[in-house]
């Protein structure tokens, strides 16, 4: 049996602090007493923050589809909580005082101060919070239950959303799992209404949108339209998260908005091997999850999913920009960083949308890998992302057909990936090849037709197709914003503007910056995006300082 992260690293997941360490924590919180049997946290309800035990004992339970099991018993020197408390989100576990218990409660708004002020202790606490979340994800404890078959396109959509946002969940197939059948009978659900989602507090949703699901599990809550942030970052990919980490660590109030998940396209990479500092490679999700947690540690507010609709000046004249969001929400910020990245390009075949999510995929994660295990799959693309996906899929699939429209992989793919792919016995490379048609029914792909240059059309019985054919800039929301774009829709900055005055990352509108893949002329690499995310923070400080100068002069 494979052991969970909590089992293999129990001492790191549940450290016991020394009395002198508890004393160092005391100044950040407040004392609370809980009677025997009283809840310190309930699944689906907001907990007050991290709780450090001065005396007594607390049992922490996880739930699996209605069944509860003990994770750990905290005693004096232990602390109760996980990443949900760092982000001010609902608890994923039940915590009950076994006996009269005294604790120091560190409220969520004060947690960044503790983690930063007490560097060594903060590192141990942060590691424990991350490992506890990993353990919950591995078991699916504390999250929603998705009822539906594994190949249902909406099940894949919802599972993908939760997985890419690091949120635990369970999936029950009503055809094979008795608990799934019970839930369908309980809520009187007809087959065409599947999937359903049962949230931790008992609410049931019929095939919800990502936003509906996120609200039900407590990932998002209403934003304050009157609060003015120092910087609003649009996009939580490598560039946006880097901005959040560096800006928040330097004391700026940071709001990050993303319409789907943190990590962007980098988060969907099966393995990144050319990012400095990781000689053995790292999955895109693991790298981006670290950045996400780091931004949260420094106090950045991250809202996902949240669709940004438009950008406009504040007509009230408070010196801030206004971002119009979905569901008629709006937020204000003194500066805006556009890091909205790009949208995946779609294959030009008539019925593509019939198979998207169920049989046509734009990333290769373990979720998709499980779907196509021991099957033949096809992948279209010739860039680094395509190469990384081929290597990953080759470890799961019976055979991978790599279809490249050009005449060479070396022209667009790193040599180390080309060499690795050519040495994989279950990968067949077809150059100068284009997909001509997709055949299937009821959202399930049955075969793919393609044609090699000068050859006849071929038909292959393949049920899963992966598309890595590039991306277009995600800038539709900037229409009528006054931010200049180039002919392809990328944001012009610095040298791309006639009056740039050497401001490399600033757009045509003062106070608005663009970084990462969405910026015209950017280098499409994770490291380059992270570098621009760090670099733009200096420009933010300079702009905010200039804006404050008249106020300072007036006071003088």
List pLDDT tens digits, range 427-440: 999 999 999 999 99
> What band does 1 get if pLDDT is binned at 50, 70 and 90?
low
**pLDDT (average), residues 107-120:** 95
pLDDT surpasses 90 at 492:
yes
Could you tell me how many residues make up the chain?
Answer: 556
Provide the pLDDT for residue 267. 87
Rounded to 5 degrees, what angle do the CA atoms 467, 468, 471 make?
115
Q: What are the pLDDT digits (tens) for 15-70?
A: 999 999 999 999 999 999 999 999 999 999 998 899 999 999 999 999 876 678 99
CA distance 362 to 141: 28
304, 262 Cβ separation under 8 angstroms: yes
User: Which long-range CB contacts under 8 A does 111-114 form with residues at least 24 apart?
Assistant: 111/49, 111/50, 111/85, 111/86, 112/248, 112/297, 112/298, 112/299, 113/28, 114/25, 114/28
Residues 386-419 as b or e (16 or more Cβ within 10 Å = b): bbbbbbbbbebbebbbbbbeeeebeebbbeebbe
Q: What are the pLDDT digits (tens) for 434-481?
A: 999 999 998 899 999 999 998 999 999 999 999 999 889 999 999 999
The one-character DSSP state at 154 is H
Provide the pLDDT for residue 291. 97
How would you class 82 by CB atoms within 10 Å of its CB: exposed for 0-12, middle for 13-18, buried for 19 or more? buried
**pLDDT (average), residues 193-215:** 95
Residues 476-497 as b or e (16 or more Cβ within 10 Å = b): ebbeebebbbeeeebbbbbebe
547, 260 Cβ separation under 8 angstroms: no
Residue with tokens 């049955």: 446
pLDDT surpasses 50 at 144:
yes
Cβ count within 10 A of residue 176: 10
pLDDT surpasses 60 at 326:
yes
CA distance 118 to 549: 34
* Residue 404, H or E segment: none
Question: Where do the DSSP E strands lie in 208-261?
Answer: 228-234, 254-257
399, 428 Cβ separation under 8 angstroms: yes
> What band does 550 get if pLDDT is binned at 50, 70 and 90?
low
CA 322, chain centre distance (Å): 24
Provide the pLDDT for residue 213. 97
The rounded mean pLDDT for the chain is 93
CA distance 187 to 419: 54
pLDDT surpasses 80 at 94:
yes
Q: Give the residue from 473, 450, 440, 354 showing the smallest Cα distance to 404.
A: 450
Tokens of 517: 């893949």
CA distance 86 to 292: 12
Q: What are the pLDDT digits (tens) for 275-287?
A: 999 999 899 899 9
pLDDT surpasses 80 at 504:
yes
**pLDDT (average), residues 309-336:** 86
> What band does 269 get if pLDDT is binned at 50, 70 and 90?
confident
How much of the chain is in helix, strand and coil states, percent to nearest 5? 35, 25, 40
Provide the pLDDT for residue 553. 47
Q: What are the pLDDT digits (tens) for 169-184?
A: 999 999 999 999 999 9
pLDDT surpasses 70 at 555:
no
CA distance 260 to 249: 25
Q: Give the residue from 286, 331, 282 showing the smallest Cα distance to 310.
A: 331
CA 474, chain centre distance (Å): 17
Strand order in the sheet with 67-75: 39-41, 94-97, 57-64, 67-75
């Amino acid at each position: 049996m494979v052991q969970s992260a909590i089992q293999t690293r129990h001492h790191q997941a549940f450290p016991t602090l020394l009395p002198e360490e508890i004393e160092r924590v005391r100044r950040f919180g407040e004392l609370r007493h809980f009677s025997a049997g009283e809840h310190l946290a309930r699944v689906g309800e907001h907990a007050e923050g991290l709780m450090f035990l001065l005396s007594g004992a607390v049992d922490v339970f996880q739930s699996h589809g209605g069944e509860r099991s003990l994770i750990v018993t905290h005693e004096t020197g232990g602390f109760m909580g996980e990443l949900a408390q760092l982000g001010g989100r609902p608890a994923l576990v039940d915590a009950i005082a076994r006996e009269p218990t005294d604790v120091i409660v560190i409220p969520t708004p004060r947690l960044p101060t503790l983690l930063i002020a007490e560097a060594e202790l903060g590192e141990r606490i942060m590691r424990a919070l991350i490992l506890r979340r990993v353990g919950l994800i591995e078991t699916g404890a504390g999250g929603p239950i998705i009822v539906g078959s594994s190949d249902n396109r909406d099940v894949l959509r919802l599972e993908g959303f939760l997985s890419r946002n690091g949120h635990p969940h369970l999936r029950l197939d009503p055809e094979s799992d008795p608990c799934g059948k019970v839930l369908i009978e309980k809520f009187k659900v007809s087959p065409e209404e599947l999937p359903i989602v049962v949230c931790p507090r008992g609410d049931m949703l019929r095939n919800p949108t990502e936003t509906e699901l996120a609200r039900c599990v407590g990932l998002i809550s209403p934003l304050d339209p009157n609060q003015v942030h120092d910087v609003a970052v649009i996009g939580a990919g490598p560039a946006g998260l880097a901005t959040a980490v560096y800006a928040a660590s330097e004391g700026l109030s940071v709001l990050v908005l993303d319409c789907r998940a943190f990590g962007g396209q980098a988060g969907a990479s099966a393995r990144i091997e050319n990012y400095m500092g990781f000689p053995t490679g790292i999955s895109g999700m693991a790298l981006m999850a670290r950045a996400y947690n780091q931004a949260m540690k420094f106090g950045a507010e991250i809202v996902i999913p949240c669709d940004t609709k438009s950008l406009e000046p504040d007509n009230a004249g408070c010196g801030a920009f206004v971002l119009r969001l979905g569901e008629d929400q709006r937020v204000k910020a003194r500066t805006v960083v556009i890091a909205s990245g790009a949208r995946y390009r779609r294959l030009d075949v008539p019925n593509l949308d019939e198979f998207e999510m169920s049989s046509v995929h734009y990333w290769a994660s373990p979720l998709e890998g499980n779907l196509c295990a021991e099957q033949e799959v096809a992948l279209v693309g010739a860039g680094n992302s395509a190469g990384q996906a081929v290597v990953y899929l080759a470890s799961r699939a019976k055979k991978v057909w790599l279809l490249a429209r050009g005449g060479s992989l070396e022209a667009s793919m790193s040599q180390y990936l080309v060499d690795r792919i050519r040495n994989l016995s279950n990968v067949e490379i077809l150059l100068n090849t284009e997909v001509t048609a997709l055949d299937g029914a009821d959202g399930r792909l049955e075969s793919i037709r393609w044609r090699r240059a000068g050859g006849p059309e071929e038909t292959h019985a393949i049920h899963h197709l992966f598309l890595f054919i590039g991306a277009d800039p995600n800038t539709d929301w900037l229409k009528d914003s006054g931010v200049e774009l180039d002919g392809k829709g990328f944001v012009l900055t610095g040298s791309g503007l006639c009056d740039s005055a050497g401001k490399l990352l600033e757009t045509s509108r003062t106070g608005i910056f663009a970084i990462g893949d969405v910026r015209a002329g950017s280098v499409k690499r994770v490291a380059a995006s992270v570098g621009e995310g760090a670099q733009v923070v200096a420009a933010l400080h300079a702009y905010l300082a200039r804006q404050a100068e008249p106020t300072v002069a007036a006071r003088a």
